[in-house]
Amino acid sequence: EISFKECKFEDNDLVSAKDPALENYYSSIIDNFAGNVTLTNNCFIGNKVSTSVIVSEGIPFGTYGDFEVNDEVIATNNFASGNTRPPDEVEEGCDFILSITDGSIYTIDDGIEYDCTPATATRCFLDEITTASPTPSPTNQVTSNPTCSVFIAGNTTECLTSLVQITAEQEEALACGRTDDNFTFKLCADTLFDVDSSIENPIRILSSQVEIICGDNGQRSNNCTIRSSDFHININASDAANVDNTVLISGVTFTGLKTVPNEESYSVSAASGGSVTFRDCIWENNDSHLLVKTDLPSELTDALQLKFDRCTFSDNKLRTGVLRNIGQDVNISGCTFSRNDLSGLLANVSICTTLGFV
C-alpha cells in the first residue's frame, strides 16, 4: 500500500531520450500493480510520460500466483496540467489515471477494459499552503550498561564528523546484549560525508531505536551531505536480528550514486518491520537504478511503515524509478519530485512502482 499527500511532481522526463530500439516501451509517474494507492491534494505539472500520469494495471481483486491481490486507486482533489504524451507512442492513453482490468498496457487486444479517470482539482492545492518547519527532535539519552564499557554517541551533545561511528557504536551495543538502546546521532552541520573515501562507510541500521539528524534541529538548511557511488543506507531486518526498527532520518542530503553495469544500485534499501521516516531530506544528482527500494518483510516482522515527509527528489538520472515498493506500507507527504530523468533506459519506467500483496 502506498499513499501520496500534498506532493508535487514537476518537469520529470520519462520519454525524451527513449532508445528507438526499445519495443513495448511505456512510462508513467506511478505504476501500480496489485497494490492500493491513495492520492490526496497532489500536483502533477509538466511531466513527460508515454501513457498516463498514473497507470493502475492488474485486476480489482483476485490472485497473482499464490498471492491474493487487490488493485485500487483512490484519488481526491489532485491537479494535473501540462503533462504530455508523444503522439503515436501507444494506442491507449489518458491524461491522469489509466486503469486496466486485464492484460498489458502495451498489448492492445479485444477484451481489455480501459478506464480513464481525470484529475478533479482546478488548481494546485500546494500553491495555497505554506510548509511548516520541521519540529526539532528530542535528544534521546542512553543508559550505560555497567558490564560493558561502550561509548554511545547518543550520550553526548557532540556532533559527528564521520559516519563510521553510527554503525560501529550500534555493533558494540549489540555485542553487549543491548538491543533496545535509543540512539540519536547528530551530524555536524556544513559537512560532506564522502563514503567513497577510505575512512567512511554507508550507514547500516542495526538497533531498534535510531535517529540521525542534521545539526541541532534536523533541518536540510544545516547542509549535511552524504555522497556515495554505491548506496547510502541499509535498513534490513536480518542485520538487526529481526527487530522492529523505529528510525528517523532528518535533514540529510543524499547524492553521488553511480550506475554499475549489471548491478542494481540504490540509495536506500529497507526490508525490516517497524517504522522508518525520512523527514526534510533531499535526493539530488544521483545516477542510479533506483533511489529507494523495499522488499517483502521477513516472516518474523510485520510490514514496514515507510514515510517520506517534506522530502525532495530532484535532478536524478534513474534507470527504473525513484521508488520501488514490494509488500510494504509507504506514506509520502509534502514531497517534491522535479527534473528527474528516467527516459529511454528500460522498457518500463515509473517514478514510483508499487507491488502489494494482501
Which range is least confidently modeled, 31-40, 52-61, 118-127? 52-61
Please give the grid coordinates belonging to residue 83.
Answer: 503533462
Instruction: Summarize pLDDT for 139-174 with one digit per residue, the tens.
Output: 444 344 444 544 444 545 689 999 988 988 888 887
Which range is least confidently modeled, 16-30, 153-167, 204-218, 222-236? 16-30
Q: What is the mean pLDDT of residues 73-92?
A: 80
User: What per-residue confidence (pLDDT) applies to 165?
Assistant: 87
pTM for the full predicted model:
0.81
User: What per-residue confidence (pLDDT) applies to 159?
Assistant: 93
Q: What is the mean pLDDT of residues 59-73?
A: 53
In angstroms, what CA-CA distances link 303 with 198, 329, 330? Answer: 35, 7, 10
Q: Are 295 and 324 in contact (CB under 8 A)?
A: no
Q: Is the pLDDT of residue 196 over 50?
A: yes
Q: Are 325 and 294 in contact (CB under 8 A)?
A: yes
User: What per-residue confidence (pLDDT) applies to 104?
Assistant: 41
What torsion, rounded to 10 degrees, do the Cα atoms 222, 228, 231, 234 define? -40
User: What per-residue confidence (pLDDT) applies to 141?
Assistant: 41
In angstroms, what CA-CA distances link 120 with 41, 49, 96, 161? Answer: 10, 20, 10, 48
Which of 113-117, 258-262, 316-320 ranks highest by mean pLDDT? 316-320
Alpha helix locations (H) across 97-253? 164-175
* Maximum CA extent, the chain: 72
Q: Is the pLDDT of residue 81 over 80?
A: yes
Paired strand residues for 293 = 269, 324
Q: What does residue 11 show for φ and ψ, rounded to 5 degrees?
A: 60, 35
Q: Are 358 and 327 in contact (CB under 8 A)?
A: no
Q: What does residue 189 show for φ and ψ, rounded to 5 degrees?
A: -65, 155
Q: Long-range contact list for 345-349, CB < 8 A, 24+ apart?
A: 345/19, 345/318, 345/319, 345/320, 346/22, 346/319, 346/320, 347/22, 347/23, 347/24, 347/25, 347/26, 348/25, 348/26, 348/27, 348/31, 349/14, 349/27, 349/318, 349/319, 349/320, 349/321
